[in-house]
Structure 1
Amino acid sequence: MDKKTKVIVCVAAAHILLSMMAMIIHSRKRKRNARRTGITYAPMHERDRTRIEYLNTKIWRDDTCINMIRMKRACFFHLTKHFRERGLLQDTIHMCVEQQVAMFLNTVGHNLRNRLIGTNFGRSGETVSRCFNKVLRAIGELRGELIRPPSLDTPTKIAGNYRWDPYFKDCIGAIDGTHVRATVPRDMEHAFRGRKSYATQNVMAAVDFDLRFTYVLAGWEGTAHDANVLRDALERVDGLRVPQGNSFTYLLVNDNVYGIMTIIYIYILYYHCILGKFYLVDAGYGAKPGFLPPFRGVRYHLNEWGNNPVQNEKELFNLRHSSLRVTVERAFGSLKRRFKILDDASPFFPFPTQVDIVVACCIIHNWVIQDGSDEFIIQDSNWPSNSHATSLVGQASEHAAMVALRQGIADQMWTDHQNYNGN
């Protein structure tokens, strides 16, 4: 090959190389321009309008609002307004606070999966998950505001009612535990599978007589005994607190002096209310300062009048104790009726999130209660009274002061009952 031919070949090769480079650069530029023109919000206005229309059709009528998000329209808007005013949730470019809260309530109200929520609201699964956690944290910030210690005044339900006043005038609520379905790693299931055939978490709560949760402790294993859960609640820095009286009475009763002196101590305990306030609890918690259980081993399903009437002071005490303590069972029943995530199939969230969901549901329950009752609140007249037995397994130890107080109340209650029948 001569020199001229070599020059021609080199020029041709350079031309081809330059042409290929130009084509590559042009192709990349076209792709870059295509991506830039694709990032536009104009087509999303119609989608946002569709999403708002879907939400409006569900929440602007009380019946569809209750069916979808488990609360009335006014209560829902008051809640979203509160989130805005507190700065806990904010509107975004394509999602308002109402949509965020509605997706959360729809999830916990019906135990729906993110995929279904995303389909209904026109959102991706990632958006649904992110909004769920954001709303869950916002609700958790309301815990100190909505789950508050009970009033120390005599409850309205007790005051003036001959069955409970004055015997329980220092009672500030009732405490019980309930089991909520849980999903945990397989190697931990044995600790969470107690009385149920499936894994559960043991949730202890205190409720006042207006069905408001005043304390909630969630996250214990399903096999945990109620007395252990209560002990943990009392030992926590921000745990359960019960206003008590002075130590003079405890000193007297703990001397274990019997006979005529015991009657004097009961008189001091009951008529002067030195022990202070107390909660009604199941027998499994045991009698201790601030916690008053029924008598153990005493029959239940009794009637104060008519068929199968009470025969002694212990049966009468247990009957009235049960009819008053049923408030906490009504609260749990109402909670699980409203939020199916607590009672349906096993949840699909990590266990720490499951614990937070239980507390969040109690907070929302309290919000609904303060905004007025609805169909999910079980009325007292519709709840079967005396429907629970007195457990005799794994009983906690009992404190002499509360045992004496219980006996004193039962004796006075029986005396008044007989005097009324005699007249």
Structure 2
Amino acid sequence: MRELRMSRPVFYKLCARLRERGLLVDTLHVSVEEQLAMFLKIVGKYHTHSYVAIAMWRSGWTVSTYFNTVLRAIVKLAHELIYVRSISTHPKITESPDKFYPYFEGCIGALDGTHIKTCVPAKSVDRFRGCKSYPTQNVLAVVDFDLHFTYVLAGWEGSAHDSLVLQDALSRPNGLKIPEGKFYLADAGYATRLGILPPYREVRYHLKEFHRAQDPKCLKELFNHRHSQLRTTVERAFGALKNCFKILSNKPFIPLKSQAKVVIVCCALHNWILDDGPDEFIYDEPTWYNHLPRSKNCVSDRQADVREWAAKRDSIAQQMWNDRFNNDSPLDKLTESSTDTPNVPANSIVCNLTLSIVNYQPEQVHLRNYLNAALDQSFGTWVTDYLGAKYRGTGVDDGVETCGILAMLQVESIWMN
């Protein structure tokens, strides 16, 4: 069953749906289950028609015929599987106050383009060769935060820019529709426009650039960092899709007119599998972050940004930056007062502060967030440098350890003396 890329119950449930809709029927010699199995072996494991024919004791003609039959059937079923499931703000956002909420309230997913290998006639190779060294089709996909594909547009030449593909999707009568007041996250290859919120350009964005405690230094970097953490949903979905259906990562051996349909069918099957529980081909978020994938887009959409949404992005970024330091924790007072006492003996403060971090942790406070407020002052520099050197690799320098009331009392007593 592993070659079918789904569990046994999910496979038989799909067969029942196709039979119920009248999209596939049992023939005298080939059942619906066998027809679907032939198809999944080809798209899932990248087996050739001849390999499947030998493995299933069928002729090459039979395998080819039923491959196309199943392809047409699932394309017709795709509209029941690829759709927007909810326009409410996802729990991933609402359950992360002060990080994603309320800043990304109204965000219902992320969109991006990906390049899928294609096989085209020699006369068309130049049109399909873009940022890759081989011919590709540029596929636009929209994904919600549960990794379901909610819209897919396939078939564009690899030389087409992502913004052009998006414009086509928005202009089609049955194309991408963005509910009023909602928006999607996009990368810097897209312009800010109604319902599309990309990050700031020419500022650090990708997660790798914030690795090893390289915290955001300004409001644009802070916005980009959190934007990137949310938008990687679409990157994870692409990774899971290509991991499950190997035909998308290899040069296809099917006619050009069928290649775009295969992409849509794979996205529909991806959603079908997710609807029935976790998919073994989808990495969990911590595992995905360890790989820290980054977008391959290197060309920006040069259309003028929509002023209203550019202003919305500025407002969100400013609110994030203000809220980062506007808490009533005792540690706020520590950093505020530290700016007025640049000549306090460094070793005494650092030793007492770090001792309290290790031995006493009564309140959960993001240490580095607050110390960044005084980063340009001598005290902030002393503390962050000391922690980075002494506790690197233990989690303290990543800002996940805590600092409690005891540290406040100890440091304040040193200043009083």
Shorter chain as denominator, the TM-score bin is 0.7 to 0.9
Q: Deviations over 1:58-94 (max 9, x none)?
A: xxxxxxx12x111111111111111111111111111
The one-letter code matched in structure 1 to 2:114 is: T
Matched, 1:220 2:220: no
Aligned to 2:268: 363
The one-letter code matched in structure 1 to 2:94 is: A
How much identity, in percent, do the aligned residues show? 49
C-alpha deviation, 1:119, in angstroms? 0.4
- Computed over aligned residues only, the root mean square deviation of the Cα atoms, in angstroms, reads 1.7
> Which of 259, 283, 286 does residue 354 from structure 1 map onto?
259
Work out which structure has the larger RCO, using CA pairs closer than 8 Å and 6 or more positions apart in sequence. Answer: 1
Structure 1, unpaired ranges of 5+: 1-64, 245-275
Residue pair 1:227, 1:396 contacting (<8 A) in 2 also: no
Between the aligned partners of 1:400 and 1:330, the Cα distance in structure 2 is 31
C-alpha deviation, 1:283, in angstroms? 1.3
Between the aligned partners of 1:389 and 1:170, the Cα distance in structure 2 is 27
Aligned to 2:40: 105
Aligned to 2:306: 399
The one-letter code matched in structure 1 to 2:66 is: C
Paired residues, what number?
326
Between the aligned partners of 2:18 and 2:182, the Cα distance in structure 1 is 35
Q: What TM-score comes out, normalization by structure 1 length?
A: 0.74
Counterparts in 2 of 1:323 and 1:125: CA distance versus 1, 3 Å: same
Residue pair 1:302, 1:309 contacting (<8 A) in 2 also: no
Secondary structure of the structure 2 residue equivalent to 1:177: strand
C-alpha deviation, 1:280, in angstroms? 0.1
Between the aligned partners of 1:142 and 1:211, the Cα distance in structure 2 is 19
Counterparts in 2 of 1:297 and 1:303: CA distance versus 1, 3 Å: closer
Matched, 1:412 2:319: yes
Aligned to 1:422: 332
C-alpha deviation, 1:160, in angstroms? 2.1
> Which of 97, 102, 106 does residue 170 from structure 1 map onto?
106
C-alpha deviation, 1:240, in angstroms? 0.2
Matched, 1:316 2:222: yes
Secondary structure of the structure 2 residue equivalent to 1:141: helix
Between the aligned partners of 1:314 and 1:410, the Cα distance in structure 2 is 6
The one-letter code matched in structure 2 to 1:409 is: I
Residue pair 1:296, 1:392 contacting (<8 A) in 2 also: no
Matches within 5 A, 1:108-147: 108-147=43-82
Q: Deviations over 1:329-361 (max 9, x none)?
A: 0000000000010002x1111111000000000
Secondary structure of the structure 2 residue equivalent to 1:216: strand
Counterparts in 2 of 1:96 and 1:407: CA distance versus 1, 3 Å: same
Counterparts in 2 of 1:386 and 1:401: CA distance versus 1, 3 Å: farther
Residue pair 1:323, 1:386 contacting (<8 A) in 2 also: no
Q: Deviations over 1:273-322 (max 9, x none)?
A: xxx10000011111001000000100134788972111111000000000
Between the aligned partners of 2:293 and 2:332, the Cα distance in structure 1 is 26
Q: Deviations over 1:40-75 (max 9, x none)?
A: xxxxxxxxxxxxxxxxxxxxxxxxx12x11111111
Aligned to 1:48: none
C-alpha deviation, 1:195, in angstroms? 1.0
Matches within 5 A, 1:23-172: 65-66=1-2, 68-162=3-97, 163-172=99-108
C-alpha deviation, 1:390, in angstroms? 7.5
Residue pair 1:303, 1:309 contacting (<8 A) in 2 also: no
Q: Deviations over 1:375-407 (max 9, x none)?
A: 201211111347347745443321101100000
> Which of 140, 143, 160 does residue 204 from structure 1 map onto?
140
Between the aligned partners of 2:260 and 2:241, the Cα distance in structure 1 is 15
Between the aligned partners of 1:330 and 1:279, the Cα distance in structure 2 is 16
Aligned to 1:380: 285
Counterparts in 2 of 1:79 and 1:171: CA distance versus 1, 3 Å: same
Residue pair 1:303, 1:310 contacting (<8 A) in 2 also: no
Aligned to 1:269: none
Counterparts in 2 of 1:87 and 1:118: CA distance versus 1, 3 Å: same
C-alpha deviation, 1:211, in angstroms? 0.2
> Which of 170, 175, 178 does residue 239 from structure 1 map onto?
175
Secondary structure of the structure 1 residue equivalent to 2:50: helix
Between the aligned partners of 2:297 and 2:201, the Cα distance in structure 1 is 6
Between the aligned partners of 1:303 and 1:181, the Cα distance in structure 2 is 29
Residue pair 2:110, 2:233 contacting (<8 A) in 1 also: yes
> Which of 265, 288, 294 does residue 193 from structure 2 map onto?
288
C-alpha deviation, 1:133, in angstroms? 0.7
The one-letter code matched in structure 2 to 1:90 is: V
- The higher radius of gyration belongs to 1
Q: What TM-score comes out, normalization by structure 2 length?
A: 0.75
Q: Deviations over 1:204-254 (max 9, x none)?
A: 00000000000000000001000000000011110001112xxxxxxxxxx
Residue pair 1:335, 1:365 contacting (<8 A) in 2 also: yes
Structure 2, unpaired ranges of 5+: 334-417
